[in-house]
Chains A and B, each alone.
Chain A
Amino acid sequence: MTTLFDVYLMAGRNVRKALRTPQFILVEVLIQPVIFVLLFAFVFGGAIHVPGVSYIDFLLPGVLVQTATFGGLNTAIALTEDLRNGLMDRFWSLPMSRFSVVAGRIVADTLFSAAGVGVMVAVGMLIGFRFHGTVPQALGAIALAIATAFAFAWVAALLAVVFKTPEAVQGIGFVALFPMVFASSTFVPVGTMPSWLQVIAGHSPVTAVANAVRALSLGTSAGIEPVAAVVWLAVLSAVSGLASAAIYRGMAR
């Protein structure tokens, strides 16, 4: 309980800070999501035809997942900056759960990601995107996209405590995430890829999540995709959360 309270306080700190930096809110929550949706929709939209579905309906769930995945990098960079700040000496000498510094950051960033998801869905709807399933399915799609942001924030936190500098985290994050996000079903059906890449993409957690969000928003979900996605996200969060907690505790002495 006390740990949760510390996480709440630290998340509050991060939200306050972000609200005080309007550029951050503007870029991360508004401009970037809008640009991603419009760019992918209009650049790829003319060239890519996915049978049986309009491209914007296919694309938007992918963009949601892609933004959620890359969003973790913000978490990682902010964490490395926190960690090399003199402020950590103060926090670590306080009677607080030390890991709440990391967890509070992730909670705050997940809130911003959620706002970004809202913006993207709204912009998508302006250019023709629709949820085709039931209301619970639509809500499930949105929840899953937010959960993806949460899980990848944990992965990013692990990168942050392992690589420690913003430069390293940014470089390694992009190198690792780019292929993972693009070699998946985010923007194109996996079936159009060469067979060797289909093997990789087919087993990617990003594909699992993108398929699930898409199935829920198209209303075609048979039930198995969301389960697979949730399992993937839970495993990613748990493994990177525990690992980063262990490493972080080692740093804090």
Chain B
Amino acid sequence: MSQAIQVEGLRKNFGGTVALDGVELAVEEGIVFGLLGPNGAGKTTMVRILATLIRPDSGRALVSGHNVVEDAPAVRRAIGLTGQYAALDEALTAEENLILIGRLHRQSAREAKTHAWELLATVGLEDAARRPVRTYSGGMRRRADLAASVAGRPKVLFLDEPTTGLDPASRLALWELVRRMVNDGTTVLLTSQYMEEVDRLASRIAVLDHGRVIAGGTPADLKAKAGGHYIAVKVTPESSAAAVAALAPIARGEVRIEVDEVVAPVDGGDSVIDAVRRLEAAGVDIDELALRRPTLDEVFLRLTAREPVLEVVA
């Protein structure tokens, strides 16, 4: 399988701040690749280098087989970019924005127009297509921006935190468009702080922290890396102590009480039956029992060794 993106030893400093500290990355063609990381991890710097907007201090990056420094024009012919802010001409309509980009990609006037309308339909902007972008709501703007990023029929699409501040409907439209692009053979590099998004879309993930890739693999690999399964049992407060005692012999680690649940790390799916038997024997009434894998959020927090932060996610 050939590589859509290949990055070796990429470094970038801004003044005294190290943004990228020797990043290695390989992204296969035709997949959604999730680049995860907290704020300031270097995700945006990475995307900007790959999109030829800034130059790396050292290291090498190939996009669609072309070097981002030496062969930037070839890279630009192959990519599309959606940043964190809508990059559209506000005075023009969405239709005009898309056609302009298609034309700059050397599509014929007719081709650019046909393609623009296909994209506008995909992101649900047909009705607003002939209104200036400045009259759009935030969500419409982002959808138009996303359509603009694929107006040039990119082989590699960069989406830098595309759903930040997006309403749920627009988020779904975005996910739909990403799936469609991948079906057509496009490679998508998606950066995000939202694990849910990456879990849902990406088949490969790299976790970036302090300018380095600290983990990578499939979502399942990463979840496994952060620990295996655990059993969560919902019980009445009175019987929680009994439940802890019953599960202790089969637990791989400490059995904890979390709110109304007793949580025990276990080896695998087989332990469920064992757990039920032991709870029954101890006379614990089971309200609810589940076998779970850690969420990517937990993986992420563990990998980046940060304290969980209470956060309101829209």
Contacts and interface: CB of A to CB of B under 8 A. Distances in A.
Nearest to B101: A94
Interface string A82-98: 00011111101111100
B44 to A, nearest CB: 11
Given A13-B100, A17-B91, A95-B152, 19 more contacts: A2-B106, A6-B104, A9-B103, A16-B91, A17-B92, A20-B132, A86-B83, A86-B87, A87-B87, A87-B89, A89-B87, A90-B148, A92-B53, A93-B51, A93-B76, A93-B79, A95-B104, A95-B106, A96-B76
B209 interface: no
Interface of B: 48, 51-55, 73, 76-77, 79-81, 83, 85-89, 91-92, 96, 100-101, 103-106, 132, 148-149, 152
Nearest to B82: A90
Instruction: Specify which of B55, B87, B148 lies most central, judged by the most chain A CB atoms within 10 Å of its CB.
Output: B87
Interface in A66-89: 85-89
B76 A95 contact: yes
B104 A96 contact: yes
Interface string A145-181: 0000000000000000000000000000000000000
Contacts of B91: 16-17, 20-21
A21 B92 CA distance: 11
B181 to A, nearest CB: 17
Contacts of A89: 48, 51, 53, 81, 83, 87
A92 B148 CA distance: 14
Contact of A95 (B53, B73, B89): B73
19 contacts: A13-B89, A16-B96, A17-B92, A20-B91, A20-B132, A86-B83, A89-B53, A89-B87, A90-B81, A90-B87, A90-B148, A93-B79, A93-B80, A94-B104, A95-B73, A95-B76, A95-B106, A95-B152, A96-B104
Nearest to A85: B87
Interface of A: 2, 6, 9, 13, 16-17, 20-21, 85-90, 92-96, 253
A165 B175 CA distance: 37
Instruction: Specify which of B96, B100, B105 lies most central, judged by the most chain A CB atoms within 10 Å of its CB.
Output: B100
Nearest to B152: A94
A85 B85 CA distance: 10
Contacts of B87: 85-90
Contacts of A253: 53-55
Contacts of B89: 13, 17, 87
Nearest to B79: A93
B102 to A, nearest CB: 10
A216 B54 CA distance: 50
Contacts of A94: 76, 101, 104-105, 152
Contact of A13 (B53, B55, B92): B92
B307 to A, nearest CB: 33
Nearest to B80: A93
B218 to A, nearest CB: 29
Contact of B77 (A9, A13, A85, A95): A95
Nearest to B89: A87
Contacts of B53: 89, 92-93, 253
